Amino acid sequence: MTEVKKDLRYIRTRKSIMDAFMKISEKKDFKDITVKDITTEAMINRATFYYHFVDKYDLLEKVLSEVFLINLNDEIIKDYVLNEEVIVNLFLAITSFNSSLSSRCHNGYEETIARIIKEQLEIIFYKMLQRQSEGEERDRIASVMLSWGIYGAAIAWNKNSELPPEEYIKLVIPHLSSGFYKEPNKKD
Amino acid sequence: MTEVKKDLRYIRTRKSIMDAFMKISEKKDFKDITVKDITTEAMINRATFYYHFVDKYDLLEKVLSEVFLINLNDEIIKDYVLNEEVIVNLFLAITSFNSSLSSRCHNGYEETIARIIKEQLEIIFYKMLQRQSEGEERDRIASVMLSWGIYGAAIAWNKNSELPPEEYIKLVIPHLSSGFYKEPNKKD
DNA sequence: TCGAATATGTCGTATATACGATAAATGACT
DNA sequence: AGTCATTTATCGTATATACGACATATTCGA
């Protein structure tokens, strides 16, 4: 389907646009970013932007869903299973998007961002859980809870914490690895 | 003359090539760098490299002479005169090329590199000295001595010192600002 | 020493992108 | 309200670049 372009020019330009967008996102709120900003940073013509994306919202969707699967697929999903390192890295990936996250949600686009991120997280968690699977439906639910949980933690970190994100998320790792509470009466 | 191209594609691609080259230079010795290495890193076709440069030696010359005048012209030469900050920055710029510099000089290309860098340094020093000029010929000679001196210091730093380059060069700053020796009998 | 791989340059053709123009939408200021 | 400036989005044409093929060098291990 959707015709995967493999012309090097296309790939490089697409990457330039996405990199530029992410760089600008670190300083500017999403709603204040113009297509001109992006094309200037990416050193491409404005018309070329529209050759690749419908508009900046389209770009946002694709950046969010691809950056996760690119940055993380390669080094993490391939042979890793769910563990501390994975969770920390995912958390860092989310918080690095603080630009879009931290802004007031008065234009209603934050929900879309949140939705996309959580969808991607869910996909990743599900893939990883299946490697050590103990039931498909259980994995599904676990993926949902983890995606919402991690994302929520990122939001909370953004609002409150002065801790570095890495330390912040590590505080809760014990609960994720060994459970949130102790079985009251367990053999052995 | 030489037809300054201003097509954005040309500019972006040229920059990509130079950035890629500098990045690779930090890890690989110049003589071990292939055109393929550069084009892969820059995400461009090999043929395109030859559209921009004759060969990797041509690229080296242009990188060396432009990087100095780009990185330094903007922030330094414009309204600055010769001072501590300028000297430190120039020194850092040179040492950051340690890749090519530090290699054994058995292919004889180090001399070319040295020549180009010194030429560029001389141009920069001369421009700066002229702002506070006390004679054209004196400025010329001073530029020559400074360019050779700074460059030599960079080479020496590379061979011997464990000091950070910034500290290293700062040790000699007093001599550059106040002279290498005291006038034996000076009025006042 | 000899092949076999890898690197260098060059060329013709196809295509992604630059450029400039355009119209319409949006926003800021009086 | 209206104007001015900026941004969005689309178009036709020109051009820089990708691609693949090619002939030479160069490197390197058997």
Coil/strand/helix, residue A170: helix
> C-alpha B117: how far from its chain's center?
5
Determine the Cα–Cα distance for residues B117 and B94; give it in Å rounded to an integer: 8
CB atoms within 10 A of CB B21: 23
Mean of pLDDT values over B120-147: 86
Mean of pLDDT values over B77-95: 78
Q: Do A15 and B43 touch (CB under 8 A)?
A: yes
Q: Are B147 and B125 in contact (CB under 8 A)?
A: yes
Q: For residue A99, what pLDDT band results from cuts at 50, 70 and 90?
A: very low
Pick A78 or B18 by higher pLDDT: B18
Q: Which of A23, A44, A24, A42 is nearest to A33 (CA)?
A: A24
Q: For residue A11, what pLDDT band results from cuts at 50, 70 and 90?
A: very high
Highest mean pLDDT among A12-21, A29-38, B65-74, B76-85 belongs to A12-21
Weakest mean pLDDT among A96-100, A109-113, B150-154? A96-100
Name chain A contacts of B16, Cβ cutoff 8 Å.
12
Residues 32-51 of B with CB under 7 A from strand D: 43-45, 47-48, 51
Q: For residue B11, what pLDDT band results from cuts at 50, 70 and 90?
A: very high
Pick A108 or B88 by higher pLDDT: B88
Name chain A contacts of B44, Cβ cutoff 8 Å.
8, 12
Q: Are B59 and B17 in contact (CB under 8 A)?
A: yes
Determine the Cα–Cα distance for residues B143 and B129; give it in Å rounded to an integer: 8
Mean of pLDDT values over B43-52: 98
Chain A closest CA to B43's CA: distance in Å?
A: 6
* pLDDT for A49 beyond 90: yes
* pLDDT for A1 beyond 70: no
Check residue A74 and report its DSSP letter. Answer: I
Q: Which tokens is A69 given?
A: 């699967």
Determine the Cα–Cα distance for residues B69 and A164; give it in Å rounded to an integer: 38
Q: Do A45 and B15 touch (CB under 8 A)?
A: no
In sequence order, the 6+-apart residues with CB closer than 8 A to the CB of B123 are B69, B143
Q: Round the average pLDDT of chain A to a whole number and report it.
A: 82
pLDDT for the residue numbered B71: 60
* CA dist A81 → A47, A110, A151 (Å): 42, 30, 19
pLDDT for the residue numbered B99: 46
Name chain A contacts of B51, Cβ cutoff 8 Å.
none
What is the number of H-type helices and E-type strands within chain A? 10, 0
Interface with chain A: mutation pick from B5, B6, B8, B40, highest number of A CBs within 10 Å: B8
pLDDT for the residue numbered A185: 66
pLDDT for the residue numbered A107: 47
pLDDT for the residue numbered B101: 46
Give me the residue from B12, B44, B45 closest to A43, CB to CB: B12
**Protein-to-nucleotide distance from the CA of A36 to the C1' of D6, whole angstroms:** 11
Interface size between A and B, measured as CB pairs under 8 A:
16
Q: For residue A143, what pLDDT band results from cuts at 50, 70 and 90?
A: very high
Q: Which tokens is B115 given?
A: 């020549």
pLDDT for the residue numbered A132: 75
In sequence order, the 6+-apart residues with CB closer than 8 A to the CB of B124 are B68, B69, B72, B76, B77, B90
Total residue length of chain A: 188
- Report the C-alpha dihedral over residues A70, A74, A80, A83, rounded to 10 degrees: -50
The fraction of chain A above a pLDDT of 90, given in percent, is 35
Check residue B86 and report its DSSP letter. Answer: H
Interface of A with B (CB under 8 A): 8, 11-12, 15-16, 43-45
Mean of pLDDT values over B82-106: 69
Nucleotide C15: closest residue by CA–C1': A7
